Amino acid sequence: MQKAYYYIANWKMYFSYLQAIAWYNDNKNQLQQLADASAALIICPSYDSLAYIAQLTKSSPVLLGAQNCSEHLQGAFTGQISAQSLKEIGINYCIIGHSEVRTACQDTNKQLKQKLQHLIEQNIIPLFCIGESLEEYHTSTTHRSLEKQLEPIFELLNNRSISTPFFIAYEPLWAIGTGVVAHNEHIISVLAAVKKIMKTCKEFHQFRFLYGGTVTSGTISELKKIENLDGFLIGKASTDFQELKKIVL
């Protein structure tokens, strides 16, 4: 039997509000089959359609995630969305630290730690992204860079109990949206390094490890050969239902 992976569809800003709803409605019956074949199928639309799609997915096995949240609880923070709001509209997962958000918002480790803290308090499962730049890759400083990026998780969870899984998504920046996928040996070596760093955390068994960056129907079979990988974060390819289907099944 095929291993059941976690599949996270990161829709970024590919769809408008109406397009996202139309995509969901057009594919909702078939999505059930994909969800059944997965450990979990989690769709992350942009903020505008989240609340509406949360209503549509209420009795569906398809789960919903947000693409970011504020490091603040509430207050004068124009344009931001709190973890509490996400919970109230029925969101159970949230991507944090995606490289596109890190670039746009210049998130620091302190801010990322605050975001994680708020999500955990709301029982929202974090999908925490890490990844090295092309320069770091070429200068063999990947592990050092990732170790730094893992600090917020390490500081928060070193001694703390959590009752839900916690996802760490390895997404090399040079593989995101480029058509260039990381080689299996590289992913395996990164996974081993990340696990070594995180293994002293009290709840190490709650960590799940994902790969993201040019996951497509053409790259997935090679990626699925990697042992100890729990799932995939899929950007562009997840917006095409037939592509998504080929990735999952």
Among the listed residues 71, 100, 136, 171, the single catalytic one is 171
Which residue in the shown chain puts its C-beta closest to ligand PGA? 235
Told to judge if 98 belongs to the known catalytic residues of this protein, a careful annotator would answer yes
Residues paired with residue 208 on neighbouring β-strands, in sequence order:
167
Dist. CA 31–CA 150, nearest whole Å: 33
Q: Does 235 bind ligand PGA (CB under 6 A)?
A: yes
Eight-class DSSP state of 128: E
Minimum separation from the CB atom of position 59 to ligand PGA (A): 28
Q: Considering CB under 6 A, how many residues would be counted as binding ligand PGA?
A: 13
What does the DSSP 8-state code read for residue 169?
E
Indicate which single residue of 65, 213, 219, 229 sits in contact with ligand PGA (rule: CB under 6 A).
213
Q: Which residue has the tokens 């800003």?
A: 13
Separation between Cα atoms, residue 236 and residue 166, nearest integer Å: 24
Between 131 and 165, name the residue whose CB sits nearer to ligand PGA: 131
Catalytic annotation, pick one of 71, 98, 132, 136: 98
CB of 35 to ligand PGA, least distance (A): 20
**Which of 6, 7, 9, 10 touches ligand PGA by CB under 6 A?**
10
- State which amino acid sits at residue 75: G
Q: Which is nearer to ligand PGA, 74 or 103 (CB)?
A: 103
Element (H, E) at 186: helix 184-198
Q: Which secondary structure element, helix H or strand E, spans residue 9, and what is its range? A: strand 6-10
Run of H or E residues at 168: strand 166-170
Please report, as residue ranges, which positions from 169 to 198 form the binding site for ligand PGA (by CB under 6 A): 171, 176-177
Q: Is 165 in the site for ligand PGA (CB under 6 A)?
A: no
Dist CA 125 CA 65 (whole Å):
9
Residue 10 CA to residue 80 CA, distance in Å, equals 19
Active site residue 186: no
Least spacing, CB of residue 212 vs ligand PGA, in Å: 4
| Residues annotated as part of the active site | 98, 171
Site residues (vs ligand PGA, CB under 6 A): 10, 171, 176-177, 212-215, 233-237
